[in-house]
Amino acid sequence: AQKVTQAQTEISVVEKEDVTLDCVYETRDTTYYLFWYKQPPSGELVFLIRRNSFDEQNEISGRYSWNFQKSTSSFNFTITASQVVDSAVYFCALSELGTALIFGKGTTLSVSS
Amino acid sequence: GAVVSQHPSRVICKSGTSVKIECRSLDFQATTMFWYRQFPKKSLMLMATSNEGSKATYEQGVEKDKFLINHASLTLSTLTVTSAHPEDSSFYICSGVAGGFYEQYFGPGTRLTVT
């Protein structure tokens, strides 16, 4: 069975701090996709990244970076030099080819100035 | 990326009435659409999978007679909440899957409040 665990329910940081959001997943398939989404108070999901199971290369996009490690079934997300605008709920999700996404419970990030 | 729209974005209805939510893929053909529900401060949970031209597949615990899904074309799926009750108040989000390589695009969501 597929499962996504985001153990951190809420994280509070002060602006300019780095913060890492953890994501651990379970799947029996060898082909799967991992995602991160941001959900601001408006509710609309903002796509951040998709990774397939065959690509373990870490990725950096501006202040965002992702660390995918199949050995530990983790797909962690780091925000460097956090800003108030980063405050939101962040979801990690997993899917197999052509299936719906299985979401983690989300991590609420609060960045204060 | 591709765009999925939802209408309405917000709806308030009285208990016992029915509400229809539309999900449209604006610039691609969605052979499959998914409907998710999100309760306040909770995660998104899959309700049903909708394939164009066939009956929707519902997740365990989701009443198919209460949440009617119609996917009549490759660009439109509708979710009708029949005889809505306050416990149906939630944020409903759809997503469309483009053909070929797997890509899933989410709509902006519809916030339903049943009074």
How far, in Å, CA of A92 to CA of A24, rounded? 9
pLDDT of residue B65: 95
pLDDT of residue A16: 97
Residue B99 has pLDDT above 90, yes or no: no
pLDDT of residue A99: 84
Q: How confident is the model at residue B80 (pLDDT cuts 50, 70, 90)?
A: very high
Residue B101 has pLDDT above 70, yes or no: no
Torsion of CA B72, B78, B79, B80, to 10 degrees: -90
Averaged pLDDT, B65-89: 95
* B44·A101 Cβ contact <8 A: yes
Strands (E), chain B: 4-7, 10-13, 19-25, 30-38, 44-51, 57-58, 67-73, 76-81, 90-98, 103-106, 110-114
pLDDT tens per residue, range B21-32 = 999 999 999 889
Averaged pLDDT, A91-113: 93
Q: What are the b/e assignments for B88-115, b being 16+ CB within 10 Å?
A: bbbbbbbbbbbeeebebbbbbbbbbebe
Interface of A with B in 70-89 (CB under 8 A): none
Q: How confident is the model at residue B102 (pLDDT cuts 50, 70, 90)?
A: low
Averaged pLDDT, A24-35: 94
In chain A, residues with a C-beta closer than 8 Å to the C-beta of B91 are 43
Averaged pLDDT, A58-72: 95
pLDDT-above-70 percentage for chain A: 100
Averaged pLDDT, A81-110: 94
| Average per-residue pLDDT for chain B | 93
Lowest-pLDDT range of A22-26, A57-61, B56-60: A57-61
pLDDT of residue B31: 86
How far, in Å, CA of A67 to CA of A45, rounded? 21
pLDDT-above-70 percentage for chain B: 96
A64 interface with B at CB cutoff 8 Å: no
Averaged pLDDT, B61-71: 94
Interface of B with A (CB under 8 A): 1, 32, 34, 36, 38, 42-46, 49, 91, 93, 95, 97, 102, 104, 106, 108-109, 111
pLDDT of residue B100: 56
In chain A, residues with a C-beta closer than 8 Å to the C-beta of B104 are 95, 101
- Would you call B69 helix, strand, or coil by DSSP? strand
pLDDT of residue B53: 84
How far, in Å, CA of A24 to CA of B47, rounded? 23
